[in-house]
Amino acid sequence: MSSYNQGNSSLKGGILFIVSSQKRWIGTCIGGRYQVESLLGQGGMGNVYLAEDLKLKGKKWAVKECLPYEDDVASFMEEAEMLACLQHPQLPQLVDYFTTDEGIGFLVMDYIHGPTLQDMFDAQRTVLSVNEIVHIALQLCDLFHYLHTFQPQPIIYRDLKPSNVMINENDQVRLIDFGVARHYTQGKQSDTMQMGTIGFAAPEQFLGFQTDERSDLYTLGANLYYLLSGGQYAYMTKKTLDQICSNLPEGLTSTVTLLLQENPQDRCQTAMEVKQRLKTLLPDLLLTDSYKQTKKQNMNHKPDVLSSIPDQLIIVGGLYAGVGATFTAISLARILNAMEIPNALVEHPTIEPDLYMLLFGDRKAPQSYSFATKKYTEQQARSDEPWTSGHTTWVPLDPNGWTGEWHSTDSFKLLYTIKKPIVLWDVSTRWEDLSVRELCHSADHILVVLDTSPAKCSRPSARAYLEILDTYRKRGKKVHFVANRSDSGQLPKEWVNALPEAPLCTLPEIPYEEVMRAVWKGDCIQDQANRMEQLYMCLTPLLKAILPESIHKNNRIKTKKSLFSGFRKHG
């Protein structure tokens, strides 16, 4: 079954388009090589036909007819050029485009086999399982992330609806019809045309304001509402999803409610933030194909660690400078390494570089190693050989610092190249950076490192950071405090009461001289057996918060004690 039914209620300046004769081109040859066989679908922006390629015998294409309106040839060219640039297996692949003497444009695209989401919804009498719907939403988040981080300009799709989403034989989502998609222009106050589909489009699409990434996220929320409620429209019911479907998971209904906020500032801000929220609902759906295959192969053996741990982004930063955020991040990375859990530690490019020197990079880094900043901002090819130490991958900043621009899109591109289930991201004290804020919106956990100094906690900058962190907490983010250089039994009561919540765990004070001796040897103090055991015990509450219970129980640390470790303990 193949379907390109697109609906016919697209809005342009409040006027509905009327579709031209559906059968006009059937049986004719257009573009000098495409024999039109049948109508696949129709919509307000034009019809889609099935055509055979007369030059490539037997090859079928989907040919979209773009109706002329207001002699706006530029819109047709923009869609054609946009599609030509897209390189994604779940997006249409443009192979040709042309116009007729009448000014009608045609786009020739790969022919996608499969029903639309609307077809599936109608065929199953509005009964799609929550698992199916969330699985589809996760794929749409990935597609929106690709479009919203597209360079040189983000692409706003603007018309997500069930009839524009196709499902192939592998249950993979394909997004079709880019007729109203547009590049986002920073600083522009309004769109040239207000387009979208009634029932799914964001309020700003009808109010004359500019659309951006958050407009697409609204349409995602509207589609989830429609599918989960059995075909009802949020703008008509005026009810939240939990009021209509009280049996749905709270995490799902709250996410949909957040996406449907009228003010874009009150919605989720990125597709990755939405994905992170949805990921927590259905762990079994989060396994990649390779993870699933590995799990299947190991059914009769020891459970595979990767297949049991959902991907997690953990932001680590300090409430003020010099409090030990990097030390905390390294400690957590090395504990995960000792537990045989793959992880990565990334040093955010806008902070002061420390990690490379602490790891003795001149001696320990691979000879062909290139820094991530060069890969994503200078287009310099980076070696496929990562810098690893056991189960930890190090991604440090260039020790000479980074003076260029680093955007949130660069962060997400880097994140996607790191094939580790747990990624730790050291942001130091740069909580106000836009690129850091975007990461925090997408994070699973945010670790805030501080010490018991009342004066430092009262600094204006510290109070400002706490206010920023509180906004994440209100959005349902897991914000944890870690008290460094402290004893859990001696935390001042007044100090604890002044925090939004008590520290989840504490880290002991390790003599500076001991740390420096390890650094000059090119070692991590955290890898020393006695310190590893101590840090593991201190960070156990955090490990329980980020790891499935079975993993925490079955992967306790395995320390390698030297011949002299006993003397160090007792002497």
Can you give the CATH number for the domain in which 484 is found?
Answer: 3.40.50.300
Does 407 lie in the same domain as 370? yes
- At 122, the amino acid letter reads D
Per-residue pLDDT of the chain (571 residues; tens, 9 = 90+): 455 544 434 443 333 333 445 567 888 898 889 999 988 877 556 688 899 998 888 888 888 887 654 455 666 777 677 777 777 778 878 888 888 877 788 888 888 777 889 888 888 765 678 888 998 999 999 899 888 888 778 888 888 999 889 887 777 888 887 655 555 445 444 343 445 678 898 888 877 778 889 999 999 999 999 999 988 999 888 899 999 998 898 889 999 999 999 999 999 999 988 998 888 776 433 333 333 333 333 333 344 555 557 778 899 999 999 999 999 999 999 999 999 999 999 999 999 999 998 888 888 888 888 887 776 555 444 445 789 999 999 999 999 888 788 877 678 778 767 878 899 999 999 999 988 988 888 788 999 999 988 888 889 999 999 999 998 888 778 999 999 988 766 788 888 888 899 999 999 988 888 888 887 877 888 888 889 999 999 999 999 998 887 777 777 775 454 433 443 333 3
User: Which of 233, 250, 285 finishes a domain?
Assistant: 285
φ and ψ at residue 144, rounded to 5 degrees: -65, -40
Same domain, residue pair 252 and 370 = no
| Structural domains counted in the chain | 3
Give the torsion sign (CA, 278, 282, 286, 289): negative
- Give yes or no: residues 80 and 217 share one domain: no
Q: Centre a 10 Å sphere on the Cβ of residue 390 and count the other Cβ atoms it contains.
A: 14
Burial 436-467 (b: 16+ CB within 10 A, else e): bbbbbbbbbbbbbbbbbeeebbeeeebeebbe
Residues 274 and 319 in one domain: no
Select from 110, 138, 170 the last residue of a domain: 110
Start-to-end CA span in the chain (Å): 76
Q: What is the token pair recorded at 555?
A: 């992967």
CATH number at residue 200: 1.10.510.10
- Whether residues 253 and 163 share a domain: the answer is yes
Q: Do 30 and 143 share a structural domain?
A: no
274 lies in the same domain as 313: no
347: three-class secondary structure by DSSP:
strand
Within this chain, do residues 195 and 269 fall inside the same structural domain, yes or no? Answer: yes
- HSE-up (13 A, CA, CB side) for residue 406: 26
Q: What are phi and psi of 483, to 5 degrees?
A: -90, 115
What range does the domain containing 450 cover? 308-570
Pair (262, 336) in one structural domain: no
For 306, other C-beta atoms within 10 Å of its C-beta total 18
Q: Are residues 328 and 316 in contact, defined by beta-carbon separation less than 8 angstroms?
A: yes
In a shared domain, residues 420 and 553 = yes
Q: Return the half-sphere exposure (C-beta side, CA atoms, 13 A cut-off) of residue 407.
A: 13
Residue 172 and residue 70 in one domain: no
Whether residue 498 contacts residue 453, with contact meaning beta carbons closer than 8 Å, is answered with no
